[in-house]
Chains A and B, each alone.
Chain A
Amino acid sequence: MENEKITSVQMMMLLYPAITATAILLVPGVTAQHAQQDMWLSPIWASLIGFLTVHITVQLYRLYPKKTPIEYSVDIAGPFFGKFIGLLLLFFYFHVTAIIIREYGEFVVGNFLFRTPIDFVMGAMVFVCAVAVRSGIAVLGRLAQILVPVVILLLTIIVILVFPDIELENMFPMFENGLLPSIMGAATPQSWFSECFLMAFLLPHVIDENHGRRWGNIAVVSIMLTLFFTNLATLFVFGNITASFVYPVISVVRYISIADFLEHVEVVVMALWVVGVFLKISVFYYALVTGLARWLNLSQYEPLVFSVGLLLCLLSNWSANDLVELTHFLGTTGSFYLSFVQTVIPLFLLLVAKWRNRAASPQPAVSHQERK
Chain B
Amino acid sequence: MRFFQRGKKGRPSQPAVTKPSGTQDALAVNMNDNLQKIQNIYRDCIDVIFRSFKIGGHTSAVLIYINGLANMEEMNENVLRPLMEKNSDSRQGASPTEQLNATSLLEQQLTVAKVNKVQTIGECVQYIAAGSPVLLIDGQSEGFALGLSEWEKRPIEEPIAESVIRGPREGFIESLETNLSLLRRRIRSPLLKTKSVTLGKYIKTQVVICYMEGITPEAFVTEAEKRLQRIELDGVLESGYIEELIEDHPYSPFPQVLNTERPDVAIANLLEGRIVIMQDGSPFVLVMPVSFYSLIQSSEDYYQRALISALIRWLRYLFLLISLLLPSAYIAILTFHQEMIPTTLLLTVAASRERIPFPALVEALIMEVVFEALREAGVRLPKQTGAAVSIVGALVIGQAAVQAGLVSAPMIMIVALTGIASFTIPRFTAGIALRMLRFPMMFLAGSLGLLGIMLGLLLILIHMASLRSLGVPYLNAHVPNMEHQAKDVLTRTPWWKLNARPRINERRRNNRQS
Question: Could you list which residues of chain A lie within 8 angstroms of chain B, going by C-beta atoms?
Answer: 3-5, 7, 9-10, 108, 112-113, 116, 120-121, 124-125, 128, 131-132, 135-136, 138-139, 141-143, 145-147, 207, 260-261, 263-265, 267-268, 270-272, 274-275, 278
What are 13 A-B pairs with beta-carbon distances under 8 A? A124-B448, A124-B452, A132-B462, A135-B465, A139-B462, A145-B480, A207-B507, A265-B340, A267-B337, A267-B450, A271-B451, A272-B454, A275-B458
**Most A CB atoms within 10 A — which of B450, B507, B509?**
B450
The answer to whether B473 has its CB under 8 Å from any CB of chain A is yes
- In the complex, how many residues of chain B place their beta carbon closer than 8 angstroms to a beta carbon of chain A? 28
Asked if residues A143 and B461 are in contact (CB atoms below 8 Å), the reply is: yes
Give A136 to B453 CA distance when docked, in angstroms. Answer: 23
Tell whether A274 pairs with B462 under 8 Å between CB atoms, given A146-B479, A263-B342, A267-B337. Answer: no
Contact of B337 among A10, A112, A116, A139 (CB under 8 A): A112
Asked if residues A268 and B450 are in contact (CB atoms below 8 Å), the reply is: yes
Asked if residues B340 and A146 are in contact (CB atoms below 8 Å), the reply is: no
Give every chain A residue within 8 A of B342 (Cβ-Cβ). Answer: 260-261, 263
Asked if residues B451 and A274 are in contact (CB atoms below 8 Å), the reply is: yes
Closest 6 CB pairs of A and B: A135-B466, A142-B465, A271-B450, A139-B465, A274-B454, A139-B466
The answer to whether B204 has its CB under 8 Å from any CB of chain A is no
**Most A CB atoms within 10 A — which of B342, B453, B462, B480?**
B462
Give every chain A residue within 8 A of B449 (Cβ-Cβ). Answer: 112-113, 267
Give every chain A residue within 8 A of B511 (Cβ-Cβ). Answer: 3
Asked if residues A275 and B466 are in contact (CB atoms below 8 Å), the reply is: no
The answer to whether B475 has its CB under 8 Å from any CB of chain A is yes
Asked if residues A121 and B478 are in contact (CB atoms below 8 Å), the reply is: no
Looking across the interface, which residue of chain A has its beta carbon closest to that of B333? A267
Tell whether A113 pairs with B465 under 8 Å between CB atoms, given A121-B451, A141-B479, A270-B450. Answer: no
Asked if residues A112 and B451 are in contact (CB atoms below 8 Å), the reply is: yes
Asked if residues A121 and B448 are in contact (CB atoms below 8 Å), the reply is: yes
**Most B CB atoms within 10 A — which of A5, A146, A207, A271?**
A271
Contact of B454 among A9, A139, A271 (CB under 8 A): A271
The answer to whether B371 has its CB under 8 Å from any CB of chain A is no
Asked if residues B478 and A128 are in contact (CB atoms below 8 Å), the reply is: no
Give every chain B residue within 8 A of A274 (Cβ-Cβ). Answer: 451, 454-455, 458
The answer to whether B177 has its CB under 8 Å from any CB of chain A is no
The answer to whether B302 has its CB under 8 Å from any CB of chain A is no
Quote the shortest CB–CB distance from A243 to chain B (angstroms). Answer: 26
Contact of B466 among A121, A136, A260, A271 (CB under 8 A): A136
Give every chain A residue within 8 A of B480 (Cβ-Cβ). Answer: 7, 10, 145
Give every chain A residue within 8 A of B473 (Cβ-Cβ). Answer: 138, 142
Asked if residues B451 and A270 are in contact (CB atoms below 8 Å), the reply is: yes
Question: Could you list which residues of chain B lie within 8 angstroms of chain A, going by C-beta atoms?
Answer: 336-337, 339-340, 342, 448-455, 458-459, 461-462, 465-466, 473, 475, 478-480, 482, 507, 509, 511
Quote the shortest CB–CB distance from A127 to chain B (angstroms). Answer: 8
Quote the shortest CB–CB distance from A119 to chain B (angstroms). Answer: 13
Quote the shortest CB–CB distance from B207 to chain A (angstroms). Answer: 32
Looking across the interface, which residue of chain A has its beta carbon closest to that of B510? A3
8 more A-B residue pairs beyond the given contacts A146-B478, A264-B339, with a C-beta to C-beta distance below 8 A = A3-B509, A131-B459, A138-B473, A267-B450, A268-B340, A268-B450, A275-B458, A278-B458
Asked if residues B337 and A131 are in contact (CB atoms below 8 Å), the reply is: no
Give every chain A residue within 8 A of B478 (Cβ-Cβ). Answer: 142, 145-146
Looking across the interface, which residue of chain A has its beta carbon closest to that of B452? A124
Looking across the interface, which residue of chain B has its beta carbon closest to that of A259? B342
Query: Main secondary structure on chain A at its contact with chain B?
Result: helix
Tell whether A113 pairs with B448 under 8 Å between CB atoms, given A145-B479, A267-B337. Answer: yes
Quote the shortest CB–CB distance from B461 to chain A (angstroms). Answer: 6
Give A371 to B336 CA distance when docked, in angstroms. Answer: 61
Quote the shortest CB–CB distance from B66 to chain A (angstroms). Answer: 53
Quote the shortest CB–CB distance from B463 to chain A (angstroms). Answer: 8
Give A44 to B336 CA distance when docked, in angstroms. Answer: 39
Give A145 to B458 CA distance when docked, in angstroms. Answer: 13
Give A131 to B479 CA distance when docked, in angstroms. Answer: 20
Asked if residues A147 and B461 are in contact (CB atoms below 8 Å), the reply is: yes
Quote the shortest CB–CB distance from B101 to chain A (angstroms). Answer: 63
Quote the shortest CB–CB distance from B511 to chain A (angstroms). Answer: 6
Give A146 to B448 CA distance when docked, in angstroms. Answer: 24
Asked if residues A138 and B509 are in contact (CB atoms below 8 Å), the reply is: yes
Give A96 to B80 CA distance when docked, in angstroms. Answer: 89
Give A260 to B462 CA distance when docked, in angstroms. Answer: 37
Give every chain A residue within 8 A of B455 (Cβ-Cβ). Answer: 124-125, 128, 274
Looking across the interface, which residue of chain B has its beta carbon closest to that of A140? B465
Give A322 to B482 CA distance when docked, in angstroms. Answer: 43
Quote the shortest CB–CB distance from B229 to chain A (angstroms). Answer: 26
Asked if residues B337 and A142 are in contact (CB atoms below 8 Å), the reply is: no
Give A260 to B346 CA distance when docked, in angstroms. Answer: 13
Looking across the interface, which residue of chain B has its beta carbon closest to that of A7? B480
Give every chain A residue within 8 A of B339 (Cβ-Cβ). Answer: 264, 267
Quote the shortest CB–CB distance from A7 to chain B (angstroms). Answer: 6
Give A80 to B466 CA distance when docked, in angstroms. Answer: 38
Give every chain B residue within 8 A of A139 (Cβ-Cβ). Answer: 462, 465-466
Tell whether A264 pairs with B450 under 8 Å between CB atoms, given A3-B509, A135-B466, A138-B509. Answer: no
Asked if residues A131 and B448 are in contact (CB atoms below 8 Å), the reply is: no
Quote the shortest CB–CB distance from A302 to chain B (angstroms). Answer: 12
Quote the shortest CB–CB distance from B93 to chain A (angstroms). Answer: 76
Asked if residues A143 and B462 are in contact (CB atoms below 8 Å), the reply is: yes
Give every chain B residue within 8 A of A143 (Cβ-Cβ). Answer: 458, 461-462, 465
Give every chain A residue within 8 A of B340 (Cβ-Cβ). Answer: 264-265, 267-268
Asked if residues A142 and B451 are in contact (CB atoms below 8 Å), the reply is: no
Give every chain A residue within 8 A of B451 (Cβ-Cβ). Answer: 108, 112-113, 121, 124, 270-271, 274
Contact of B475 among A146, A268, A278 (CB under 8 A): A146
Give A271 to B328 CA distance when docked, in angstroms. Answer: 14
Give every chain A residue within 8 A of B453 (Cβ-Cβ). Answer: 271
Looking across the interface, which residue of chain A has its beta carbon closest to that of B345? A261
Give every chain A residue within 8 A of B509 (Cβ-Cβ). Answer: 3-5, 138
Asked if residues B448 and A116 are in contact (CB atoms below 8 Å), the reply is: yes
Give A294 to B270 CA distance when docked, in angstroms. Answer: 44
Give A121 to B453 CA distance when docked, in angstroms. Answer: 13
Give A139 to B464 CA distance when docked, in angstroms. Answer: 9
Quote the shortest CB–CB distance from B445 to chain A (angstroms). Answer: 11
Give A314 to B452 CA distance when docked, in angstroms. Answer: 21
Quote the shortest CB–CB distance from A327 to chain B (angstroms). Answer: 22
Give every chain B residue within 8 A of A138 (Cβ-Cβ). Answer: 473, 509
Give every chain A residue within 8 A of B448 (Cβ-Cβ). Answer: 113, 116, 120-121, 124
Looking across the interface, which residue of chain B has its beta carbon closest to that of A277? B454
Give every chain B residue within 8 A of A132 (Cβ-Cβ). Answer: 458, 462
Asked if residues B479 and A10 are in contact (CB atoms below 8 Å), the reply is: yes
Quote the shortest CB–CB distance from A61 to chain B (angstroms). Answer: 21
Contact of B462 among A116, A124, A125, A131 (CB under 8 A): A131
Contact of B479 among A124, A135, A142, A278 (CB under 8 A): A142
Give A261 to B340 CA distance when docked, in angstroms. Answer: 9
Give every chain A residue within 8 A of B462 (Cβ-Cβ). Answer: 128, 131-132, 135, 139, 143
Give every chain A residue within 8 A of B461 (Cβ-Cβ). Answer: 143, 146-147
Give A26 to B340 CA distance when docked, in angstroms. Answer: 24
Give A165 to B462 CA distance when docked, in angstroms. Answer: 38
Give A7 to B455 CA distance when docked, in angstroms. Answer: 26
Give A208 to B450 CA distance when docked, in angstroms. Answer: 38
Give every chain A residue within 8 A of B454 (Cβ-Cβ). Answer: 271-272, 274-275
Give every chain B residue within 8 A of A142 (Cβ-Cβ). Answer: 465, 473, 475, 478-479
Give A304 to B61 CA distance when docked, in angstroms. Answer: 74
Asked if residues B459 and A128 are in contact (CB atoms below 8 Å), the reply is: yes
Quote the shortest CB–CB distance from A186 to chain B (angstroms). Answer: 32
